[in-house]
Structure 1
């Protein structure tokens, strides 16, 4: 329980500090609402007790009714405004948390992103945070507000009858004790369920992405059986969490019903002894009914506390991950990059991938990397792009050790384009600029001309402002649009990983022309499985089993040698 409270305290302090005005407004409106809720039954009680008194004129009763209706109207307005402020605050803060979580996740290293599937990350970043929107807006308010409401009603019970006050004091204390004592165990159950749900979504996303391969190898039934296992585990853990969560709830409501019976029974007994008026019995009866509302609200919030605790645990766990990529404080200037790779070796676990790799790249040179599948090509460029830390040896960028470079600054100087193009559900302009509205339309149109998509964009209903998706583009158009982002990048180091591997000859020729313009006078690495793109390179690096087989100028390496290593 203490760990939940500690987590709540941390997130409240960090994310609510800038919204003190809204919090004060919410508490003020809540206090007004509680005050009216306590007062309304008193007005009716006075009305009932005054019926037997002939000294009261009709104007008195009309005034009471008017006051009652006016306060009821104010209560409705107050609660509506409070709901609006709370909902807006909850979504504002949860969006702020979501942005921070996304930024943190993006900054994590490649090992982290290999560990978690896309669907699982979506559930963690969006699902867990969405669940917390109410937590940031109304959780604390409801806990404090309804606790005060309970105390006020019990105080009224003491004023009217000490016996009823004692009875409900015991019920309230016992209810709080039962709920709070079981929180730790129930939070663990909900944490397990949320983890199951994230893994389920991760598996579904992965299966959808690989649907063509799954159907191609005829393993549809195998993937269905795995899906059933994920669903079964999720169902079992959800059922367990719900059942255990409902144990204190069921006991609490049974106790509340006993309290109702005792309160009404004492009221009736005192009425027949002429120690309590009919209006007071109505007041007690109404307060007993009203008491259900804050207890139900508290029960709901305390029940949510279990799920909130689970979500906060998972969010805190994500924030606790730190990138293992080394970073220094050296920043690069906007100048051409030279690269010196010295005796670099790298392995995944116990499996060596690169062994004693050494080569030099002058400023403005284009290097073609060739090798069969598994030769270490992709791993090498990921080391050059600082996606992994080298284990032995060194990589010097303009004579500066890559480990001593500021990692965020370094990423601004490189542009990595792979064969797996990504099209966002947005306009052509938004896809090329990655939603950066500071890029001018002229710059975008210039890029479209360079990548050879002028006619295609002209055919769209709204030109560069046409919303596009994956189904509207051919593989070549999609890849060209993806490469177009590189023209707006202004990087000093470009890395292209098999960008033409899935394209027809016509599309490949367009990409060749686009890369020819883009790579002029830049430091470039091109991984290629076709000879066409290698016409752009100054030197060829051939890898075999993680070692350099050949590194020489392109004009000295025959096509036959290259083809033998594709």
Structure 2
């Protein structure tokens, strides 16, 4: 099956805007016609009011002029000259109005189309598996959503419709030139293949150049985004000079890509100017010869009008080449955007059961999972978490603890086995309802650059500020929030940098509590915080886990001593499970070693 080009895919998004397309086409045609009338009116003015003893001919032009003479009552009075000048002014005014509406409607249409594509891209990205974001640089995706989108918009605002308008103008101009004087027009047409060939070569070269430019822009965005995000590490380890050298290398590649683009422009446009000047010279030369040899179909007014027509014919060719540059950049950007949009890594959401007020009985049966094929992280795990119970999972780094909660939420798809909640496989639930019933508090809390209130409610209009305050009081963090400037309306800035790690954790606990989940998961939520914050978090944890199925992944064993069951993992397998007291009784056991090592260290 033939693959649809990115250009055609972009055009498909214009289907809902057929009325705007019609008006853009109308103004493009109207603009071409009124623009071509100006030189003709100038021709008539010069031949009828400035050149005396005009000879009678039977040319098509003379027939048109006879009509004009009839309109002006067959004389050359000053009043009719003034009237002709007024008509020329009106034509010019109409051209300005047509130009305005054409450009405005084309740009408006382009922005509407890009708005639709951008929304579809963002929706598509929000459904991707976490594995995709593990492998793709954030800077690259930002480039696709922002700068590439603007380049797609330019296909309409500065590319396609401008080219259509220019082609219409050229065809109408050629028609007028043939009507006025076909001999001189033939001279112009003999030169046109040269500039058309040059334009074709230029466009092919520019497509390759623009593709290289977009690659380097994506690399540049990725590098800058990562370094700005990790600036603390860069400065902490005195990496400024090293990172600067890396940046210079990437920036140099970006510069060279653009210089290639500039080189092609620098070659093409002077060539186009030379060809235009040669054509004009030939027209003047042969036109003068025709007049001197007594050719009655050639006049001075025609030569002057042809001077304007050649500019109107060749300038669009030059501009078309320039607009093809814009088109090429837009199409290359569209290639990249549609590559992401056609990437099929969405979490499959074929479930039909709504997960509402789950009991929270979780069961894993012989679950296998690998991030990379052939490298299993979870190796045949089976476990059960009963309704209302608190289960803790402990183990060394890389044992597969966090992977378990990612699989329960279906951030990743298991390789084999079954994960069930309330005896129903998780893939039978609709994805949105399943995740609504599960709340997770991570070790690395992410807060948006907004108020505390909005970070808690996540713009859910059904959650009032009073409800948030009541919840904060129940888990014991209301006083902490009210101690901040503006309280619940305190702006935490990007990633919550205005708060300490412990304070961010408290906000995350409140965000989880306010959603009233059936299942609560705490992933290292109490690690790396001060004692005061830990005290608040312990109280919040007790409130959150009460009568609710809870899974706690913990590094500090003191936080999970009272768990109903403790699962000990090592290298992707469950090696021990039981209560805290039961596990301590296992001689030389994994849990006992972990417990002893922590308490020995603390002593």
- TM-score in terms of structure 1 length: 0.89
Deviates more, 1:327-336 or 1:109-118: 327-336
Contact 2:362 2:386 in 1 (8 A): yes
Partner in structure 2 of residue 297 of structure 1: 319
SS at match of 2:365: strand
* Superposed CA offset, 1:188-218 (max 9, x none): 4422331232122212222222333344444
Q: Spell out the pairing of 1:393-432 with structure 2 (5 A cutoff).
A: 393-432=417-456
| Secondary structure of the structure 2 residue equivalent to 1:107 | coil
**What do the CA deviations read for 1:214-255 (whole angstroms, capped 9, x no partner)?**
444444444334333323333333333443566555544433
Q: Partners in 1 of 2:96 and 2:81 — Cα distance? A: 23
Give the corresponding residue for 1:12.
11
Contact 2:139 2:223 survives alignment (8 Å): yes
Q: How does 1:43-58 map to 2 (within 5 A)?
A: 43-52=41-50, 55-58=75-78
Check the 8 A contact 1:341/1:357 in 2, yes or no. yes
Query: Is 1:278 matched with 2:300?
Result: yes
Shift of 1:282: 1.8
Give 1:408 shift. Answer: 4.6
Cα displacement (A) at 1:405: 4.5
What pairs with 1:233-272 in structure 2 (closer than 5 Å)?
233-244=253-264, 248-272=268-292
Q: Residues 484, 278 of structure 1: CA spacing in aligned structure 2 closer, same or farther, 3 A cutoff?
A: farther
Partner of 1:340: 363
Name the residue aligned to 2:59.
none
Q: CA deviation at 1:151?
A: 1.0
DSSP-derived class of the 1:158 partner = helix
When residues 169 and 536 of structure 1 are mapped into structure 2, their CA distance, relative to the original with a 3 A threshold, is farther
CA distance 1:292–1:412, change in 2 (3 Å): farther
C-alpha distance in 2, partners of 1:209/1:261? 60
**Which of these residues, 149, 152, 158, is aligned with residue 178 of structure 2?**
158
5+ residue gaps, structure 2 = 53-74, 585-590, 599-603
Cα distance change of structure 1 residues 353 and 460 upon mapping to structure 2, 3 Å threshold: closer
CA contact (8 A) 2:129 2:412 kept: yes
Q: Structure 1 residues 255, 163: closer, same or farther in 2, change over 3 A?
A: same
Q: Identify if the C-alpha distance between structure 1 residues 59 and 331 changes in structure 2 by more than 3 Å, giving closer, same or farther.
A: same
Name the counterpart of 2:329.
307
1:435 alignment counterpart: 459
Matches within 5 A, 1:437-476: 437-450=461-474, 452-455=476-479, 457-458=481-482, 464-465=488-489, 467-469=491-493, 470-476=496-502
Q: CA deviation at 1:340?
A: 1.3
Deviations 1:118-167 (A, max 9, x none): 11110122121121112134533212111010111122222223233234
Asked whether the equivalents of residues 94 and 136 of structure 1 are also in contact (C-alpha less than 8 Å), the reply is no
Q: Which moved more, 1:407-416 or 1:504-513?
A: 407-416
Q: How many residues align?
A: 563
Greater displacement, 150-159 / 419-428: 419-428
Of the structure 1 ranges 394-403 and 307-316, higher mean CA displacement relative to structure 2 is found in 394-403
Distance in 1 (CA, whole Å) between partners of 2:326 and 2:351 is 44
1:229 to 231, 239, 249: 249
Q: TM-score, normalised by structure 2?
A: 0.84
Corresponding residue for 1:32?
A: 30
Alignment partner of 2:215 out of 195, 215, 231: 195
SS at match of 2:14: helix
- Are 1:99 and 2:98 an aligned pair? no
Structure 2 partner of 1:387: 411
3-state DSSP of counterpart to 1:132: helix
Question: Cα offset for 1:337?
Answer: 2.4
**Bigger shift: residues 125-134 or 54-63:** 54-63
1:549 — aligned with what?
A: 575
CA apart distance, 1:318: 0.8
Task: Please provide the CA RMSD for this pair.
Answer: 3.0
Q: 1:174–1:363: structure 2 CA closer, same or farther, 3 Å change rule? A: farther
The CA deviation at 1:326 is 4.9
CA distance in 2, matches of 1:448, 1:167: 84
Partner-residue secondary structure (3-state), 1:496: strand
Aligned pairs for 1:173-212 (under 5 A) are 173-180=193-200, 183=203, 186-212=206-232
Task: Quote the Cα distance in structure 2 between the aligned partners of 1:265 and 1:143.
Answer: 31
Match of 2:370, SS? strand
Asked if the contact 1:451/1:480 (under 8 Å) is kept, the reply is no
Aligned partner of 1:121 in structure 2 is: 141
**Unaligned segments of structure 1, at least 5 residues:** none
Provide, for residues 465-509 of structure 1, a one-character-per-residue CA deviation record: whole Å limited to 9, x for no partner.
Answer: 554413432333323223333234343333222222232122222
Deviates more, 1:127-136 or 1:552-561: 552-561
Question: 2:535 aligns to what?
Answer: 509
